[in-house]
Amino acid sequence: MVQANQWNAGLYDAKMNFVSEYGKGLVDWLQPAPGESILDLGCGTGDLCAELSLAGAYVTGIDFSATMIEAARKKYPPFAFEVADAHTYRTDVSYNAVFSNAALHWMKRPAEVVETVWLALAPGGRFVAEFGGHGNCGQITKALRTALARRGISADERSPWYFPSIGEYTTLLEKQGFHVVFASHFDRPTVMADGDLGLSHWLNSFCSPFFAGLSSDDIQQVCREVTDILRPALFQEGHWVLDYKRIRVLAHKKSEKDTLQGGAVK
């Protein structure tokens, strides 16, 4: 069993704010319109819900972490936020769009999540998402694997992440019935704030499942070993630059008209 990540909403907002900053580009890609209803899947502390609402859209945010939802409600009281598991989430609302930034790679039963998105969308609705793709943080994962193996721990068994290939993920979407309009798998080197402390912030924010059962001293030692392994490759000009690889997709839920037209083609 993979332990859930222990989210620290304050650390996330203070040191991992690059997540929302990069996500603003995805909002531009979605092009939210006035009056639309949008579901933000894995909304974190709500910053991108607020960004989506600037276009006049009605936004609902869900996240598995109660800590993150509590922070979102405090930051943005007018918006609707709900603690929910995207694998099993069901709603009576038919949304014009489902949006997800930097969240789907935390959901290790992707076919169930794709079904959730499908059921939440109105016919003709669109799904726009960005998340970690195959090879994302590959050097960091390798370093964790090395440091934990010294303690008889398998990093692969503890990994909380799902980093698919573009073919794997688009196949899931198409099997569900989506029309995949666009899909891209690309490198996005990501600079951490706070100079030499940047990698420590990242490990503390995102890697708690790897450290389950370890004492605080052991965790600090693992982080030091990981830092030493990665420094030659990822510490550049006074900053940590992490080896992110992302997938971005745009898919439409076919309307009844689209389905009939598709079935008529011979």
Q: Given pLDDT bands bounded at 50, 70 and 90, which one contains residue 261?
A: low
pTM recorded for the entire structure: 0.90
111 membership: H or E segment, kind and range: helix 110-120
Mean per-residue pLDDT of the chain: 90
- Checking if the pLDDT of 62 tops 90, the result is yes
Backbone angles phi, psi at 119, to 5 degrees: -70, -30
Q: Given pLDDT bands bounded at 50, 70 and 90, which one contains residue 254?
A: confident
What is the pLDDT averaged over residues 137-162?
Answer: 97
Tokens read off for 92: 């009576």
- Percent of the chain whose pLDDT exceeds 70: 87
- Checking if the pLDDT of 106 tops 70, the result is yes
Tell me the three state secondary structure of residue 215: coil
For residue 42, the model assigns a pLDDT of 95
- Checking if the pLDDT of 265 tops 90, the result is no
- Checking if the pLDDT of 249 tops 80, the result is yes
Fold of 9-136+161-192+243-255: Rossmann fold (3.40.50)
Kindly report the number of other CB atoms within 10 A of residue 182's CB atom.
Answer: 11
217 membership: H or E segment, kind and range: helix 216-234
Per residue in 155-185, pLDDT tens? 999 999 999 999 999 999 999 999 999 999 9
Q: Given pLDDT bands bounded at 50, 70 and 90, which one contains residue 114?
A: very high
Task: List the 95-101 sheet strands across, edge first.
Answer: 80-83, 58-63, 37-41, 95-101, 121-132, 245-253, 178-187
Three-state secondary structure string covering 29-67: HHCCCCCCEEEEECCCCCHHHHHHHCCCCEEEEEECCHH
Point out the least confidently predicted range of 39-43, 90-94, 183-187, 254-258.
Answer: 254-258
Which residue in 70, 13, 61 sits closest to 201, CA to CA? 13
Domain boundaries, the chain: 9-136+161-192+243-255
For residue 28, the model assigns a pLDDT of 87
Tell me the three state secondary structure of residue 13: helix
Tell me the three state secondary structure of residue 118: helix
β-strands 121-132, 245-253: how paired? antiparallel
